[in-house]
Structure 1
Amino acid sequence: MDSGAASFQRFLDGDESGFDEIIELYHDSLIYFINRYVNNFATAEDLAADTFMELLIHKKRYSFKSSFKTYLFSIARHKAVDHIRREKRFSSMPEEEMPEDSTDIDIVERSVISSEEKRKIKEISEGLCEDYATYLHLAFFEEMDNEDIAQIMKKSKKQMANLSYRAKNALREALRKEGICYEE
């Protein structure tokens, strides 16, 4: 059982500090992950709070069969996608014109991403297609395996193998253009 699942089990058993530990463990990385979808730090914070609320309201839904982190990030992904759908329906402003709060994003990046190598990977991955960028974020920053990433992204094993290969090749090529040698 991973630490998130152990904390959640303690919460289910009545220890409220278990939920506090979950928030402490996943808050920053969840915001960063959601921000990859919504490109707005304040919205990402709100959706992360909604994700934790969903976990509180529907606490019996987690079955302890998969990784807790995978389950939590799946909820977050659904929240982000739902938000994007609502925004597209009601927004008259094109997505390219929406402001991005780069100061807040930089603060989160510094706290979540510590090494220069990961910063470069993040910077370059943002220029790649959304699926590649999402895969690279989950693989490098959240240190998830392909099985967990496949569940979050709703991909089959074969699709995930192809996505993994293509995303890493795209990253390798982009790094090579920057003069950086990438080795797995």
Structure 2
Amino acid sequence: MDNGESSYRRFLAGDDSGMAELVREYRDGLLLYLRSYTANFSTAEDCVQDTFIKLAVKKPKFNGKSSFKTWLYTIGRNIAADHIRRDRRSRNVSLDDYSTLSDETDLEQSYLMTEQKINLRHAMCRLREDYQQVLYLTYFEGFSNEEAAKITGRSRKQIENLLYNARKALKTELEKEGFSYENI
């Protein structure tokens, strides 16, 4: 599999089903990653939507220097970073502070099928945001350390150090709940 590149090329050539395939394939994973980046489910949804809109409208060139998925997640992270900067400048009161979204747990439960993965996800949510991001990218999405570095704008060595510390923090968090880290 080419990781979405052929679907994107078909879309650029005029086949709209290529974009539909990309959205179907990457929407949920990108949403969960951006949720860990933004710490807000509805903001992450907006950023995912903006990511696919950018692909559809601006049609940026994929140069093949990384995998298509790495390139797409990098675009999503950059859009999320822009959104966070804009939000900080114009923030009055967030509606998310006053309401809960039931969609968040529904999406997580459908995407993360087993109870063990759900418990792992909840333990990850209690970690620092940068730990969440690096664990999610490498373990849930299967990115290499080098790809995760490109997506997050860090060096490979920084990612390795973050992963080491994130694993230790996750192990501690899981042990607090009585789970065995080795079985995960």
TM-score by length of 1: 0.89
The corresponding residue for 2:68 is: 68
Residue type matched to 2:114 in 1?
S
Q: 2: CA distance between counterparts of 1:99 and 1:158?
A: 39
The corresponding residue for 1:120 is: 119
The corresponding residue for 1:50 is: 50
**1:94 and 1:48, CA in 2 relative to 1: closer, same or farther beyond 3 A?**
closer
1:144 to 2:143 alignment: yes
1:63-115 per-residue CA deviation (whole Å, 9 max, x = no partner) reads: 122111111111111111111111111113489x8245331101110221112
1:107-156 per-residue CA deviation (whole Å, 9 max, x = no partner) reads: 11022111222211211111111100111121222222211111111111
SS in 2 for 1:59: coil
**1:117 and 1:47, CA in 2 relative to 1: closer, same or farther beyond 3 A?**
same
The corresponding residue for 2:97 is: 98
Contact 1:34–1:80 (Cα < 8 Å) also in 2:
yes
SS in 1 for 2:175: helix
Contact 2:3–2:69 (Cα < 8 Å) also in 1:
no
Q: 2: CA distance between counterparts of 1:99 and 1:137?
A: 27
Shift, 1:50, TM fit: 0.8
Map residues 6-21 of structure 1 onto 2, 5 A cutoff. 6-21=6-21
1:3-62 per-residue CA deviation (whole Å, 9 max, x = no partner) reads: 311211222233221111001101122222222233443332222111011112332421
**1:156 and 1:13, CA in 2 relative to 1: closer, same or farther beyond 3 A?**
same
Q: 1: CA distance between counterparts of 2:97 and 2:39?
A: 9
Runs of 4+ residues deviating >4 angstroms: none
Contact 1:113–1:141 (Cα < 8 Å) also in 2:
no
The corresponding residue for 1:25 is: 25
The corresponding residue for 2:131 is: 132
Contact 1:34–1:47 (Cα < 8 Å) also in 2:
yes
Contact 2:127–2:169 (Cα < 8 Å) also in 1:
yes
1:34 to 2:30 alignment: no
**1:30 and 1:175, CA in 2 relative to 1: closer, same or farther beyond 3 A?**
same
Q: 2: CA distance between counterparts of 1:121 and 1:43?
A: 23
SS in 1 for 2:142: coil
Q: 1: CA distance between counterparts of 2:39 and 2:98?
A: 8
Structure 2 unaligned runs (5+)? Answer: none
State the aligned residue count.
183
Contact 1:40–1:99 (Cα < 8 Å) also in 2:
no
TM-score by length of 2: 0.89
